[in-house]
Structure 1
Amino acid sequence: MEIKKVSMIGLGALGILFGHHLSKRMPKEDLRIVADRKRIEKYETEGVYCNDERCNFNYVAPEENCEPADLLIFTVKNSGLKDAIKAVKNHVGENTIIISALNGISSEAIIGETYGMDKLLYCVAQGMDAVKVGNKLTYENMGMLCIGDQKPGIISEKVKRVAAFFEKQNVPYEIEKDMYKKLWSKFMLNVGVNQTVAVYGSNYGDIQREGPAREMMIAAMREVITLAEKEGIMLTEDDITYWLHVLSKLSPEGKPSMAQDVEAKRLSEVDLFAGTVLELGKKHGIPTPVNKELYERIKEIESQY
């Protein structure tokens, strides 16, 4: 069954990046950007731009009746996930495949509570260096989407359908056979790079070279390795090396989403990152001093808004 109808919700960096890419390759009516009417009015009035090109999006309000999507993609912030789940109700049908490009390790389970885990594939977005300022996104590296099944070691028909769609639309992707480990590995990266760059008020260049920021980032990631083992996930120093290689390819002027949140004086996802690490540390009786420092410093920054 070929994927033809696609719905997306969330026009942050990932939503704009992949939405713009797909909009240039698909019939306009087949790609639906779900947003409330107030947001739609703003998007249509002010425009949404990707690398200085105005996006030609087909906006659909949550209450509009429509044909269910073959593929539904969540690209909202974690804080907006519960509202997004309600908003896409009309887009979920019997054969809809759902992927979530959200940070963290819990969004799939939260979506699955409403729509069923049988509809979900695991997904991780990596390797993009997009920077969003207001309604304008710029990037040098598009990165890719890693997809896979919930059970390790298999490649289901759902994965094959999504892969065929990505192939047709020229979306960079990889199929992973152990996606739950991949989710934890990406979580480890976010805990390190997102929070460190935010605290230092810098960019990828600062953690690409030797120095205190890079050291703090790696130390925060190592705390996740220790906790992951207690949760039955085997991460190693090789996983850190892998991500350092990925980071080395990004534009030095680029920066992760949390650093962009801090610059814009928006509340960040620190509770999703260091907050989760601190909770797991408490659960397993393992000290996590680096993430404790990152948590406290980011909360202090946010208290000044």
Structure 2
Amino acid sequence: MRIAIIGIGAMGCLFGARLAPLADVVMVGTWPEGLAALRERGITLADAQGERTIPVQVAGAAALPPCDLALILVKSYQTARAARQAAEWLAPQGLALTLQNGLGNDEVLAASLGAARVALGVTAQGAMLLGPGRVYHAGAGPTHLGVTPLTRERLEEVGALFRQAGLETHLTENITGLVWGKLVVNSAINPLTALLRVPNGALLENESARALMEAVAWETARVAQAQGIRLPFDDPAERVREVAARTACNRSSMLQDVLRGTPTEIEAINGAVVRAGQRLGVPTPINATLWRLVCALETTHPLPQI
């Protein structure tokens, strides 16, 4: 299988390192330092077992041969560009699979590629970028691929490859519920860790932070329930507590973005919840506050320390 992995951040490098030994993988990105590191030494993957380097191909200026799979792992605000790239390289029967955070990425891809060539998935793999081309696998978790009659056969092949690479993978017909389930968690944990600049587990240690986290989880869940979406859990507060405890030492992707001084995915996470709530008449005041606070954080230059 020929795979273009579009995105060379933490998740792109994690999936690239796992899939490159088993498939014809080419890494696609726009980050100059990241591309240079991948060309020079490949992907350096660190985990509990140690550190190893996996050689990978890197896309150059020349056009790629047609790809069977375009794995979309860019930030949500980069999806439109990734869709244009996938449109150039994807084979006629190829599939673009998004495992991105937030809402709306599959719709952006479908506008360029057609719905029959787009699949939506969700992953609980945890990864932290240590530097250009260097990634730490912070925690294993399942990946779910949403199947339709048009995509089932191709996704069965993708799922088999992922499992061969040691990535727990399942096919599901309730991908919308799983995406919203992850959104409940991300909307509650990501902005708070970014604003407080703490790892996930610290939210459980602070009474005010824990109360906010639980309230956001319920608020996002009510927006999902108003649409008739079946979430993969009954108690949103219990779920976010469990995730925060299980990933206590992890830095959320939004915290990593803030610490690097790069844009966050707040628009596709809490911003998307607010917009959905407005359409449905479901109040989302806490999501709205966190959305605005993170937007302000992105554009605020703090005073120098005295």
Q: TM-score range by the shorter chain?
A: 0.7 to 0.9
For 1:238 and 1:201, how far apart are their aligned partners in 2?
26
Q: In the alignment, what sits opposite 2:234?
A: 237
Give the CA deviation at 1:83: 1.2
Q: Would you say how many aligned residue pairs link Structure 1 and Structure 2?
A: 294
Q: In the alignment, what sits opposite 1:22?
A: 19
For 1:90 and 1:111, how far apart are their aligned partners in 2?
13
2:188 touches 2:240 (CA, 8 Å); kept in 1? no
Give the CA deviation at 1:73: 0.4
1:179 and 2:175 aligned:
yes
For 2:175 and 2:209, how far apart are their aligned partners in 1?
29
1:78 and 2:76 aligned:
yes
Equivalent positions of 1:1-305 (< 5 A) are 4-23=1-20, 25-26=21-22, 30-36=24-30, 38=32, 40-41=35-36, 43-44=38-39, 48-51=43-46, 52-61=51-60, 63-128=61-126, 130-135=127-132, 136-150=134-148, 156-209=152-205, 211-235=207-231, 237-238=234-235, 240-250=237-247, 252-305=248-301
2:26 touches 2:57 (CA, 8 Å); kept in 1? yes
For 2:298 and 2:35, how far apart are their aligned partners in 1?
29
**Deviations 1:23-59, CA, capped at 9 Å, x for gaps:** 2x225xx111123595634643586532154442200
Q: In the alignment, what sits opposite 2:304?
A: none
Give the CA deviation at 1:7: 1.3
**Deviations 1:209-246, CA, capped at 9 Å, x for gaps:** 56322221121111111111222314363455345434
SS in 2 for 1:122: strand
Letter aligned with residue 276 of structure 1: A
- Gapped regions of structure 1 (runs ≥ 5): none
For 1:47 and 1:225, how far apart are their aligned partners in 2?
41
Give the CA deviation at 1:127: 4.2
For 1:239 and 1:294, how far apart are their aligned partners in 2?
18
Tell me which moved more, 236-245 or 118-127: 236-245
For 1:54 and 1:173, how far apart are their aligned partners in 2?
24
SS in 2 for 1:241: helix
1:72 touches 1:99 (CA, 8 Å); kept in 2? yes
Tell me which moved more, 277-286 or 45-54: 45-54
Give the CA deviation at 1:15: 0.5
Tell me which moved more, 286-295 or 192-201: 286-295
Distance 1:150 1:222, change over 3 A: farther
SS in 2 for 1:19: helix
1:155 touches 1:177 (CA, 8 Å); kept in 2? no
1:78 touches 1:102 (CA, 8 Å); kept in 2? yes
Distance 1:155 1:6, change over 3 A: closer
Tell me which moved more, 253-262 or 160-169: 160-169
SS in 2 for 1:171: coil
Give the alignment's TM-score, normalised by structure 2. Answer: 0.86
Structure with the bigger percentage of strand: 2
**Deviations 1:255-297, CA, capped at 9 Å, x for gaps:** 1100111111222111212212222232233322211221232
SS in 2 for 1:67: coil
Tell me which moved more, 33-42 or 280-289: 33-42
Give the CA deviation at 1:143: 2.4
SS in 2 for 1:93: strand
Letter aligned with residue 59 of structure 2: V
**Deviations 1:83-118, CA, capped at 9 Å, x for gaps:** 111123332112212210111121111101111111
For 2:185 and 2:40, how far apart are their aligned partners in 1?
37
Letter aligned with residue 49 of structure 1: T
Give the CA deviation at 1:71: 1.8
Tell me which moved more, 34-43 or 260-269: 34-43
Distance 1:239 1:147, change over 3 A: farther
